Amino acid sequence: MKIGRKRKGKAEIPTSSMSDIAFLLIIFFMATTKFDVKEGIKIVLPQASEKQEGETQSLTLTEKEMTRLQIIADGQIVVNKEAPRNIESGELDALIQQKVKVNPDMIFKVITDREAKYSEMVRVVDRLKAAKIEKISLSTN
Amino acid sequence: MAKFGSKKKREAYIPTGSMSDIAFLLLLFFMVSTVFVQEKKFWVERERWPMAESIERIPRNHTSTIYVMRDETILIDDVPTRIESAEDVFVSTTLIRKKADDPDLVVCFRTDRDTKYGVMSDVMRQLQDANTLVVAFETQQRQR
Per domain, the residue ranges of chain A are 70-138
Cβ atoms of A3 and B4 closer than 8 Å: no
Q: Report the pLDDT value the prediction gives residue B40, as an integer from 0 to 100.
A: 60
| Chain segment B38-63, per-residue pLDDT in tens | 656 557 888 889 999 888 888 878 88
- Domain around B92: 46-141
Show pLDDT as tens, one digit a residue, over chain A (141 residues): 566 666 677 887 777 787 888 888 888 888 887 776 788 999 998 887 655 445 556 667 777 789 999 999 998 999 988 888 888 989 999 999 999 998 999 999 999 999 999 999 999 999 999 999 988 988 877
- Residue B103 within any structural domain of the chain: yes
- Judge contact between A44 and B134, C-beta under 8 A: yes
Give the number of domains in chain B.
Answer: 1
Q: Supply the pLDDT for residue B42.
A: 59
Residue B130 resides in a domain: yes
The size of the A-B interface in CB pairs under 8 A is 159
Contact A119 B127 (CB under 8 A): no
Query: What is the per-residue pLDDT for A37?
Result: 77
Report yes or no on B18 lying in a domain. no
Count CB neighbours of A43 within 10 A: 18
DSSP state of A3: -
Q: Where are the alpha helices (DSSP H) in chain A?
A: 18-32, 89-102, 118-130
CATH number of the domain that residue B124 is part of: 3.30.420.270
CB-closest option in A39, A122, A140 to B124: A140
Q: Across all residues in chain B, what is the average pLDDT?
A: 85
Residue of A nearest to B122 (CA): A140
Contact B135 A33 (CB under 8 A): no
In this structure, are residues A40 and B56 in contact, taking their beta carbons and an 8 Å threshold?
yes
Mean pLDDT in consecutive groups of 10 residues from the start of chain B, 144 residues: 65 80 85 72 80 86 89 87 85 91 92 93 91 91 76
Residues of A in contact with B31 (CB under 8 A): 29
Residue type, B85: S
Instruction: Identify the pLDDT of residue B60.
Output: 79
On whether the CB atoms of residues B89 and A92 are closer than 8 A, the answer is no
Residue at B7 is within a domain: no
CA distance A139 to chain B (A): 8
Candidates B117, B122, B126: best to mutate against A (most CBs of A within 10 A) is B117
B114 occurs within a structural domain: yes
Interface of B with A in 105-134 (CB under 8 A): 106, 108-109, 111-118, 120-122, 124-125, 127-129, 131, 133-134
Return d(Cα B76, Cα B97) in angstroms, integer.
12
Q: Residues 61 to 80 of B: which have CB under 8 A from any A CB?
A: 63, 65, 68
pLDDT for A17 equals: 81
- Per-residue pLDDT, A106: 92
User: What pLDDT is stored for residue A55 in this prediction?
Assistant: 54
Q: Are A120 and B51 in contact (CB under 8 A)?
A: no
Across the interface, whether the CB atoms of B129 and A48 are under 8 A apart is answered: yes
CA nearest to A82, candidates A64, A100, A99, A70: A70
Task: Please give the model's pTM, rounded to 2 decimal places.
Answer: 0.73
Residue A78 in 3-state DSSP?
A: strand
Highest CATH level, class, for A70-138: alpha beta
